Amino acid sequence: MPGEYPSVVIYGTGGHAKVVREIFAMKTIPVAGFMDPSAEKRGSMFLSRPVFGSEKLLEKGKYPFDVAIIAVGKCKVRQEMGELFESYRIPLVSAVHPAATVSPFASLGPGSVVAAGAVLSPGVKLGKSCIINTNAVVDYDTVLDSWAQIAPGAILCGGVTIGECTWIGAGATVIEGVTIGANTMVGAGAVVTRDLPDNVLAVGVPARIIDSWPVKGQRLVPPRQW
């Protein structure tokens, strides 16, 4: 069975990389090794696979893998590294845990990860390199722009729209039809009952904007606008 699949390199050696490695192991998809920007990790072993080094390996033009996945939590890293791999014509692949429930009428962008227990309902659309973590629920017709991340146990009700690089915290709930902008952080356990703009941090029940994001202390949107 491994011969049926191209060999994958996993970029990253943190916790999320462990999740991705497990998914590929359970699905008997061959992993050639890992890449990591840390110079001291080059030549070491991680989860029984070699660490080839940093992205500078791509400049050599020869590498022991066919496709890649960016297994890093930080959205900007997923964006930058994903675009770098694609510029070298190395396709991104997705990782879907066998214990996830993904509708045949949902669509996943390249490089996305769907962890164990997650649910993607009909009409769901994921952009590039999205992360749907353990036991998260993404209900019908919800759209996630590229590099968005849904933390463990979060629930997105039907018809929700999530902007690029936005993070929905663990156990948070986003009510049906709500739109959340790009580069926004929703805190763990929050309940989002109305739209949120770009670049804000929102927490609480119901969710309230308390700061800018990802750079804190910037001018906030006046409350009447959200």
Task: Look at residue 223 and tell me whether its pLDDT is greater than 60.
Answer: no
Task: Look at residue 221 and tell me whether its pLDDT is greater than 70.
Answer: no
pLDDT tens digit string along 156-205? Answer: 999 999 999 999 999 999 999 999 999 999 999 999 999 999 999 999 99
- What the block records as the tokens of 222 is 């006046």
Average pLDDT over residues 149-153: 98
pLDDT tens digit string along 30-74? Answer: 999 999 998 889 889 999 999 998 898 898 888 889 999 999 999
Task: Look at residue 225 and tell me whether its pLDDT is greater than 60.
Answer: no
Tell me the pLDDT of the chain averaged across its residues.
93
pLDDT tens digit string along 126-135? Answer: 999 999 999 9
Please report which helix (H) or strand (E) contains residue 168, including its range: strand 167-168
- What the block records as the tokens of 68 is 């890649």
Higher pLDDT: 221 or 177? It is 177
Split at pLDDT 50, 70, 90, the class of 5 is low
pLDDT tens digit string along 73-91? Answer: 999 999 999 999 999 999 9
Please report which helix (H) or strand (E) contains residue 21, including its range: helix 15-26
Q: Is 55 exposed, middle or buried (0-12, 13-18, 19+ CB in 10 A)?
A: middle
Return the DSSP state at 205: T
Task: Look at residue 110 and tell me whether its pLDDT is greater than 60.
Answer: yes
3-state secondary structure at position 192: strand
So what's the pLDDT on residue 2?
Answer: 42
Task: Look at residue 136 and tell me whether its pLDDT is greater than 70.
Answer: yes
Split at pLDDT 50, 70, 90, the class of 224 is very low
So what's the pLDDT on residue 57?
Answer: 87
So what's the pLDDT on residue 40?
Answer: 84
